[in-house]
Amino acid sequence: MIEKRSHIWQWFLDNKIEPTNLKAAMLVAYPHPNTENWQQLIANILLYLGVLLLSAGMIFFMAFNWDALAHLSKFAIVEGLFALFISGFYLINRMQKKQHSPQTPLKQQSQNVYGWSLPNAMLLGASIMLGALLALVGQTYQTGADPWQLFAIWAVLILPFAYIAGFDLLWLLLAVLINISQGLYFQSFASVFSFLQEDIQQIAIFGVTNLVIHLAFTIAKRCKWPGQLRFNCPMVEKSSLLASVSAFTWLIIWVIFDLNYQYEASQHAVYYALLYLLTLTSLFIWYRYRAPALYPLALVLTSISAAIVSLLSRALLESNDSIASFFLIAMVVVGVTSGSLYWLKKWQKQFSEMASLEHKDARNSDVKTEVAADE
């Protein structure tokens, strides 16, 4: 929808659409939501809010009445709610499959299966209850397991749920659990991973982990295979990329301000700087030429701008004239921001033109196919 509106706005700037017809053209590309759309949105919000509140309420109830409840009662409550969510998923999913006719469009079927649907809400609640059940087992029987094992096992066990649902929130929960378990793992084995215990190294690992998650979803979505639709999760892709670029930006800023002029420290700083440059350059090339997208390019430009301002700030703030330094830094911030906006606007126009050409070529190929079929 946004791409269509940008195309229409570009046509208006090129005087291809009259000013009096601009509003009508925008409404065609992006119609106002009707009553049914609003009802569906409110229903989804209340549905998922209810599932989250029910799960959280059960957890707080167990914590508040921990001493008053017997072990059997605790397990009965958690396992009963988990079984309720699983049963609800099975029954609702079976009912919806019976209601779908063979003539139902494939796009609508995929939205009902992989989108914000009632069965996926049941799986989300079951995933939360599964984590609560693991915590209950560890707390009741004092298994002596490390905290990272709870989150790691939780992530492994909800992986089938996330794959079945193909749902953003479940995949996002899985990504969060992976990050938490990894951080706790390195803390639990501090003696073994002593060479990775510095904060700057933890930031680099966090950035690489989220970059791998982003690449995994991007590649799985682009490849042609039966599970392609299950990895079409824009929320996870954008969140993991934001976390990765933020970590690498923090990394380069740390290197800039913490760099001293000793040989060993400078050598390690070079490695981190090369990792930053390699990552940002790869992201820029991929999302500029291979898979054009504005959001990743905006993150890359923001990160580079922050690095430039940080490098200049360290160089200028060491001088004696602090007032002139602050003024120059402010001018540089305005300059890099303006330059980033200029390039983003230029790329948006280019991407819109490319999308228009691709749409036109696809429409022409469809027309040729229909003509050949008629002949």
Three-state secondary structure readout of 250-298: HHHHHHHHHCCCCHHHHHHHHHHHHHHHHHHHHHHHHHHHHCCCHHHHH
pLDDT at residue 279 in the model? 94
Top mean pLDDT of 109-118, 179-188, 255-264, 275-284 is at: 275-284
Cβ(161)–Cβ(127) under 8 Å? yes
Residue 348's nearest CA partner among 303, 293, 290 is 293
**Tens-place pLDDT, residues 77-106:** 999 999 999 999 889 888 877 775 555 544
Report the sign of the C-alpha dihedral through residues 115, 118, 120, 124, in that order. positive
Distance CA 81, CA 176 (A): 23
pLDDT at residue 98 in the model? 74
**Tens-place pLDDT, residues 107-118:** 444 444 567 788
149 has pLDDT over 70: yes
Phi first, then psi: give them for residue 157, nearest 5 degrees.
-70, -30
Instruction: Determine the 3-state secondary structure of 143 from DSSP.
Output: coil
| Sequence letter at residue 364 | N
pLDDT at residue 266 in the model? 56
Q: What is the mean pLDDT of the chain?
A: 81
Q: Could you tell me what percent of the chain has a pLDDT over 70?
A: 78
DSSP letter string over 20-73?
GGHHHHHHHHSPPP-HHHHHHHHHHHHHHHHHHHHHHHHHHHHHHTTTTS-HHH
Residue 161's nearest CA partner among 60, 62, 93, 250 is 93
Higher-pLDDT residue of 125 and 94 is 125
pLDDT at residue 360 in the model? 57
Distance CA 253, CA 241 (A): 18
Confidence of residue 272 (pLDDT cuts 50, 70, 90): confident
368 has pLDDT over 70: no
Top mean pLDDT of 58-67, 227-236, 345-354 is at: 58-67
**Tens-place pLDDT, residues 186-240:** 877 765 555 555 678 888 899 999 999 999 999 888 887 777 778 888 889 999 9
pLDDT at residue 18 in the model? 73
Distance CA 82, CA 76 (A): 10
Token digits of residue 299? 């993150």
Distance CA 74, CA 198 (A): 40
Cβ(243)–Cβ(178) under 8 Å? no
pLDDT at residue 111 in the model? 47
pLDDT at residue 109 in the model? 47
41 has pLDDT over 90: no
Residue 326's nearest CA partner among 342, 309, 340 is 309
